[in-house]
């Protein structure tokens, strides 16, 4: 089959890798509008469940990704003037640029024609393809031209966020909440390799305006944020771009849903099909899993493609609905931070607040709360980390032995 992926993000590249692995006779092309290595954004987090899937589907790229990812242990919640409250768990993080380099390299190794500096419209994509994969992200042009047929909706979140980096190296996933004269503002930060961390700053539109963060000079925004977060950043600076990138700007999260992901020979994948608020850290994982599921259903030639696309659409959309509902709850929790924290930082109980933050996606059994209280004790945290390390190592040792899905 001739397969054209529009968009060289995780969804388009991974679909290309898996299609080429599955049948080297497929002619697979990826069209990416940006120059090579000109990705926006900093690090993305993921967990062992994704690594298991990646090792099963393409052990080569999975091993490189694991090698270049960093591990964070535990989560810290910092609230103006209070000692940190702690949450358990560990995860991985990798710079988005490195992730895309790994996937591009692997795709080329497998014979995929990856073309950068190549913006594609529908005419270009359709010209020579049995299947067009619209992996062109949240603002997908291929989707929006036929928004009615896809039943596309886009709902904007209320808060503003800006995706920054910092040279402070966090070793935990850290939330820091600062009370300003305009109200609460906070960041979500985690390590992202190369002695850098990711730092996503979020606040309500009122706070953004009240702090003068809606002006036209982005450098002034960075300076103001460095001043506000001087404590949790230990005086380190914030970075608004990687070398060669455009400077970061403020956005509002856009939740994309579609009534169907297929239209003729075109199928939506990744953010073009669905988005989930960044506070559940899952968009990349979901994009990669879309690719895994679609690749597994691809026929050897174009015969029966319509039915296969229909099956993909029905099944994957059903899986995504509840995940998007969870992400919406998480987003709504952050939109309500003022109510959770109140106007007086001194009156906040950080341990209770941290538990509230942790269970924002749904409810948990009572024992979880007792575990949370115990996690505030240093020796318990050390023990939980040790258990996490053993789990991680055991899981990693098993991976090279996971039978790969046959190509």
Ligand X SMILES: Cc1cc2nc3c(=O)[nH]c(=O)nc-3n(C[C@H](O)[C@H](O)[C@H](O)COP(=O)(O)OP(=O)(O)OC[C@H]3O[C@@H](n4cnc5c(N)ncnc54)[C@H](O)[C@@H]3O)c2cc1C
* Contact residues: ligand X, CB under 6 A: 6-12, 31-34, 41, 44-46, 119-120, 135-137, 141, 163, 200, 270-271, 278, 281-285, 287
Q: How far is residue 197's CA from residue 135's CA, in Å, rounded to a whole number?
A: 27
Of the two residues 31 and 228, which places its CB atom closer to ligand X in the complex?
A: 31
Q: How far is residue 221's CA from residue 240's CA, in Å, rounded to a whole number?
A: 10
Of the two residues 16 and 178, which places its CB atom closer to ligand X in the complex?
A: 16
Distance of CA 294 to the CA centre of its chain: 20
Task: Report residue 63 as tokens.
Answer: 């091993």
Least distance CB 204 / ligand X (angstroms): 17
Of the two residues 45 and 320, which places its CB atom closer to ligand X in the complex?
A: 45
Of the two residues 51 and 120, which places its CB atom closer to ligand X in the complex?
A: 120
* Per-residue CA distances from 368 to 204, 213, 374 (Å): 30, 38, 10
Q: How far is residue 10's CA from residue 331's CA, in Å, rounded to a whole number?
A: 23
Least distance CB 206 / ligand X (angstroms): 21
Vertex 256: Cα angle to 327 and 266 (nearest 5)? 130
Of the two residues 324 and 375, which places its CB atom closer to ligand X in the complex?
A: 324
DSSP-derived 3-state class of residue 47: coil
Task: Tell me if 225 sits within 8 A of 211, measured CB to CB.
Answer: no
Least distance CB 386 / ligand X (angstroms): 25
Of the two residues 88 and 270, which places its CB atom closer to ligand X in the complex?
A: 270
Q: How far is residue 99's CA from residue 18's CA, in Å, rounded to a whole number?
A: 16
| 337-354 core/surface letters (b: 16 or more CB in 10 A; e: else) | beebbeeebeebebbebb
DSSP-derived 3-state class of residue 5: strand
Q: How far is residue 18's CA from residue 168's CA, in Å, rounded to a whole number?
A: 37
Q: How far is residue 208's CA from residue 202's CA, in Å, rounded to a whole number?
A: 9
Task: Tell me if 209 sits within 8 A of 225, measured CB to CB.
Answer: no
Task: Tell me if 164 sits within 8 A of 188, measured CB to CB.
Answer: no
| 8-26 core/surface letters (b: 16 or more CB in 10 A; e: else) | bbbbbbbbbbbbbbbeeeb
Least distance CB 16 / ligand X (angstroms): 11
Of the two residues 11 and 341, which places its CB atom closer to ligand X in the complex?
A: 11
Least distance CB 188 / ligand X (angstroms): 8
Least distance CB 76 / ligand X (angstroms): 17
Least distance CB 292 / ligand X (angstroms): 13
Least distance CB 273 / ligand X (angstroms): 8
Of the two residues 309 and 320, which places its CB atom closer to ligand X in the complex?
A: 320
Of the two residues 8 and 350, which places its CB atom closer to ligand X in the complex?
A: 8
Least distance CB 228 / ligand X (angstroms): 19
Q: How far is residue 288's CA from residue 271's CA, in Å, rounded to a whole number?
A: 11
């Amino acid at each position: 089959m001739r397969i054209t992926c529009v968009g060289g993000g995780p969804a388009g590249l991974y679909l290309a890798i898996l299609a080429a692995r599955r049948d080297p006779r497929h002619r697979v092309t990826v069209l990416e509008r940006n120059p090579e290595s000109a990705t926006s954004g900093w690090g993305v987090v993921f967990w062992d469940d994704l690594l298991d899937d990646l090792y099963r589907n393409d052990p080569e790229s999975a091993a490189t990704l694991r090698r270049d990812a960093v591990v964070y242990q535990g989560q810290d919640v910092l609230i103006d003037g209070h000692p940190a409250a702690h949450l358990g768990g560990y995860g991985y993080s990798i710079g988005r640029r490195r992730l895309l380099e790994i996937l591009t390299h692997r795709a080329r190794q497998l014979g995929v024609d990856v073309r950068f500096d190549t913006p594609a419209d529908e005419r270009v994509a359709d010209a020579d393809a049995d299947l067009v994969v619209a992996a062109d992200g949240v603002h997908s042009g291929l989707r929006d031209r036929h928004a009615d047929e896809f039943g596309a909706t886009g709902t904007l979140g209320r808060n503003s966020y800006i995706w920054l980096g910092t040279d402070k190296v966090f070793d935990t996933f850290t939330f820091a909440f600062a009370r300003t004269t305009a109200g609460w503002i906070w960041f979500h930060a985690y390590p992202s390799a190369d002695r850098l961390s990711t730092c996503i700053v979020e606040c309500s539109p009122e706070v953004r305006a009240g702090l003068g963060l809606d002006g036209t000079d982005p450098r002034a925004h960075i300076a103001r944020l460095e001043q506000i977060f001087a404590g949790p950043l230990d005086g380190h600076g914030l970075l608004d771009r990687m070398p060669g990138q455009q400077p970061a700007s403020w956005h509002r999260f856009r939740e994309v849903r579609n009534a169907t992901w297929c239209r003729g020979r075109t199928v939506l994948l990744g953010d073009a099909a669905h988005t989930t608020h960044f506070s559940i850290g899952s968009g990349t994982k979901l994009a990669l899993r879309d690719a895994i599921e679609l690749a597994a259903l691809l026929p050897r030639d174009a015969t029966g493609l319509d039915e296969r696309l229909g099956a993909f659409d029905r099944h994957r959309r059903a899986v995504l609905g509840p995940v998007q509902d969870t992400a919406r709850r998480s987003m709504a929790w952050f939109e309500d931070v003022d109510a959770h924290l109140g106007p007086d930082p001194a009156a906040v109980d950080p341990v209770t607040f941290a538990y509230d933050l942790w269970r924002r996606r749904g409810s948990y059994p009572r024992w979880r709360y007792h575990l949370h209280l115990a996690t505030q004790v240093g020796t318990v945290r050390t023990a939980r980390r040790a258990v996490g390390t053993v789990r991680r190592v055991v899981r990693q040792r098993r991976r090279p032995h996971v039978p790969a899905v046959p190509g």
